[in-house]
């Protein structure tokens, strides 16, 4: 006959937890001694260890209660199932560890693998961090608003960026961000851009034309997403 504190120590829990299990009907209330103290037997110790083992496996107390007075077959089946999702939870935690590692750097956590690859390509081309960041945010919004479209668009964009002519235009647009709005190179750049789009437009399929400026537009609402030169460029291309 042991006390609640001894029982609790045996199972590695607090006395509070033991009383909690009494309240929830998981552990039978034991007899009391002459001063009202609870007095436990070995059976209680066995039951408590079972409770803790199941609880450690993440089984809710209400279910533990049911399992404790279920027949052997039910219990065995339940344990098999509990073990299965314990296995799954371990796998999940491992995945979380990987994601945690990616939190240190890289965008792979925030966009699809295809977009992440595309962003890596941009960095390799020497595209500015500002621009890459702008693109990333654009793709996040696109993927969120319409994942299927985004997946089509990213495929097109990756083809596009493989074209040396487009690549040159893209890099010059990137550089233009810091130019003066009066810079004489702007009208010429606008012109070349329009020409390029005109000559590649016909290749587009029946679905809505994918303007590569969409990424920029999507990110437009963010602070610092444009510059005087870019505003001017947009005007020139419209006119």
State the minimum distance, in angstroms, from the CB of residue 195 to DNA.
Answer: 34
For DNA, the binding residue among 28, 33, 92, 168 (CB under 7 A) is: 33
> Rounded to whole angstroms, how far apart are CA atoms 210 and 203?
11
Q: How far apart are the first and last CA of the chain?
A: 93
Using the rule CB under 7 A, is 221 a contact of DNA? no
Quick count: other Cβ atoms within 10 Å of Cβ 118? 20
Sort 3 into a burial class: Cβ within 10 Å, 0-12 / 13-18 / 19+. Answer: middle
- DSSP summary character for residue 25: T
| Neighbouring residues of 4: CB distance < 8 A, sequence distance ≥ 6 | 15, 18, 19, 37, 38, 40
Q: Which residue in 196, 197, 198, 181 sits closest to 234, CA to CA?
A: 181
Using the rule CB under 7 A, is 208 a contact of DNA? no
CB 51 within 8 A of CB 64: yes
Using the rule CB under 7 A, is 25 a contact of DNA? no
Using the rule CB under 7 A, is 146 a contact of DNA? no
Binding mask 48-77 for DNA (x = CB under 7 A): -------x----xxx---------------
- Using CB under 8 A, list all residues that contact a copy of itself: 1-2, 6-7, 9-10, 41-43, 45-46, 49-50, 53-54, 56-57, 76, 79, 82-83, 86-87, 89-90, 92-94, 96-97, 99-101, 103-104, 109-110, 136-138, 140-141, 143-145, 219, 221-222
Strands (E), the chain: none
Using the rule CB under 7 A, is 45 a contact of DNA? no
Interface region with DNA, contact rule CB under 7 A, candidates 30-38, 115-123, 166-174, 214-222? 30-38
State the minimum distance, in angstroms, from the CB of residue 20 to DNA.
Answer: 5
Phi/psi region, residue 58 (left: phi>0; alpha: psi -120 to 50; beta: rest), is left
Q: Which residues bind DNA (CB under 7 A)?
A: 3-6, 13-17, 19-20, 33-38, 55, 60-62
């Amino acid at each position: 006959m042991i006390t609640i504190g001894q029982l609790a120590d045996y199972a590695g829990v607090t006395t509070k937890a033991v009383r909690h299990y009494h309240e929830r009907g998981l552990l039978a209330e034991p007899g009391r001694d002459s001063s009202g103290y609870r007095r436990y037997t070995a059976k209680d110790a066995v039951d408590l260890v079972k409770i803790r083992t199941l609880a450690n496996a993440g089984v809710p107390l209400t279910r533990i209660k049911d399992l404790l007075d279920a027949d052997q077959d039910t219990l065995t089946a339940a344990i098999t199932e509990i073990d299965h999702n314990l296995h799954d939870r371990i796998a999940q935690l491992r995945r979380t560890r990987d994601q945690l590692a990616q939190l240190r750097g890289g965008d792979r956590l925030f966009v699809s693998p295809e977009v992440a690859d595309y962003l890596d390509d941009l960095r390799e081309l020497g595209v500015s961090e500002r621009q890459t960041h702008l693109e990333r945010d654009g793709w996040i919004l696109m993927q969120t608003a319409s994942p299927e479209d985004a997946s089509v668009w990213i495929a097109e964009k990756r083809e596009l960026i493989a074209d040396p002519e487009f690549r040159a235009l893209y890099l010059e647009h990137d550089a233009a961000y810091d130019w003066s709005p009066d810079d004489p190179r702007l009208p010429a750049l606008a012109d070349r851009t329009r020409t390029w789009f005109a000559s590649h437009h016909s290749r587009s399929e029946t679905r809505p034309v994918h303007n590569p400026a969409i990424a920029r537009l999507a990110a437009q609402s963010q602070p610092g997403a444009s510059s005087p030169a870019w505003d001017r460029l947009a005007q020139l291309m419209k006119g």
